[in-house]
Amino acid sequence: MNFFKINLHRNLYTAVFFTLSFLLGQKSFAQKNIPTPPPDSIKYLDAVYQKVKTTPTYPKTVAYLSFLFPLTTLQNGVFTPNFSNQTTSIGFPTGINIFYSKSFGFSYELTPTIKASGGSSKMSNLLFAPGTMFRFDHGFTVITRIAFETSGRYGFTPVFNKIYARTKAVNYFIAGSLPTRFGNGANASVGLSVQFGFLFN
């Protein structure tokens, strides 16, 4: 009789052991097969919640400050470098950009120019150059500006802009431009300039 009881207890323990092992194994298997939440969601207390995506609001206004270095000018079939005849010029474009969407905006720019020659320097010109902005992926922007100078010249300036570094406070950009000018009793001219600056976020 005692032998029968011992076998019964042993069989019960064995059955309970295998039952628990089976249940725990099923739970572990189920946990392994739970799909991971997608990158745009989070899991909290076994529930999956969609992350709230912040979208920029438009219109958005930002300001910028930059430095403009004229490289050369073509007029009457002759190239005149910026640093020729001991003369050099540097511009300080400042402006406001108004973004109406992810791909389009409008820019208002003022550029005072300082000219140094013969051991002296002076402010030689003030340029007002508003224009439309066409924004593309990877920080590229094409700006079509019209130009009005206090020197009496006028025209247009296509600008090719690229943001090369981003921070929380500012974005740093580099641009190339082709200032095309007419008027004030002089022949048409086309220049080549490079611009460095930062855009306040």
- pLDDT-derived band at 55 (thresholds 50, 70, 90) equals confident
pTM above 0.85, yes or no: no
The β-bridge partners of 180 are 156, 190
- pLDDT-derived band at 119 (thresholds 50, 70, 90) equals confident
CA distance 154 to 184: 9
Dihedral Cα 121, 123, 129, 134, nearest 10 deg: 40
Retrieve residue 70's tokens: 């004229």
Question: Is 60 exceeded by the pLDDT of residue 129?
Answer: yes
Radius of gyration of the chain (CA): 34
Hey, what domains does the chain have and what are their CATH numbers? 2-50 (no CATH), 60-200 (2.40.160.20)
Residue range 130-135: mean pLDDT, rounded: 98
pLDDT of residue 103: 96
CA distance 195 to 128: 16
pLDDT of residue 152: 96
Which 3 state secondary structure label does DSSP give 121? strand
- pLDDT-derived band at 53 (thresholds 50, 70, 90) equals low
